[in-house]
Structure 1
Amino acid sequence: MKSVCYYNVAILCVVAFVLVFGGSQVCTEAVTCSPLELAPCATAITSSSPPSAICCGKLKEQRPCLCKYVKDPNLQKLVNSPNAKKVASTCGSPFPSCSS
């Protein structure tokens, strides 16, 4: 039971991280905001593993949603974690400034 909860928390952390730390991009299509899109980043956020190219791509894709994730009490701690910031930095995606 604890491993299932840990896995869910890890996924939420990864999703939040990707949304908050995604790089700038010009979008011609609307992005569907879904923290689950950041699941490929879960391992990198919860361990010392480097982020994959897929993780970095998803992080950049979810960039327009990051401030929404930062404001979500369920995702906030994961998105603002030191590992999430490290993953964002490694992916070349700066941490956004989100107004209240």
Structure 2
Amino acid sequence: MKKGVAALFVMVVMAVALVHDTAAMTCNLLELVSCSVAIKSGENPSAECCAKLKEQQPCFCQYIRNPLLKPYVDSPNAKKIAAACGIQPPTC
């Protein structure tokens, strides 16, 4: 479990480092840490997770295009969480 959390943290840091343009600077994957347990386990998301997902929704396509993040963002659990939070999947 510690390896999974460490790997997720490394990917988050790398994704934040890959942000290049000014508009993307508002995208902060670290804001979605509250969703990490739900994404890994498939549990229901917390209210904080849903709020953060809604804030970060304009960033989803950027996250999906990142090959390190795509498996998490495009996973069945991520889709389940988005649906539970009332968020439509991105059309990138």
TM-score computed with the length of structure 1 as normaliser: 0.71
The structure showing larger relative contact order (alpha-carbon pairs under 8 Å, at least 6 residues apart) is: 1
2:53 aligned with 1:59, yes or no? yes
Unaligned 5+ residue runs, structure 2? Answer: 13-23
Instruction: State how far apart, in whole Å, the 2-side matches of 1:44 and 1:31 are.
Output: 25
* Backbone CA RMSD of aligned residues: 2.3
TM-score computed with the length of structure 2 as normaliser: 0.77
Matched AA of 2:63: Y
- Deviating above 3 A after TM superposition, structure 1's stretches of 4 or more consecutive aligned residues are 8-13
Unaligned 5+ residue runs, structure 1? Answer: 14-29
- Kindly provide the CA deviation profile for residues 39-58 of structure 1, in whole angstroms up to 9, marking residues without a partner as x: 00011111132100000000
Identity across aligned pairs (percent)? 47
Pairs aligned (count): 81
2:78 aligned with 1:84, yes or no? yes
Q: Which has the higher helix share?
A: 2
Residue 70 of structure 1: aligned partner:
64
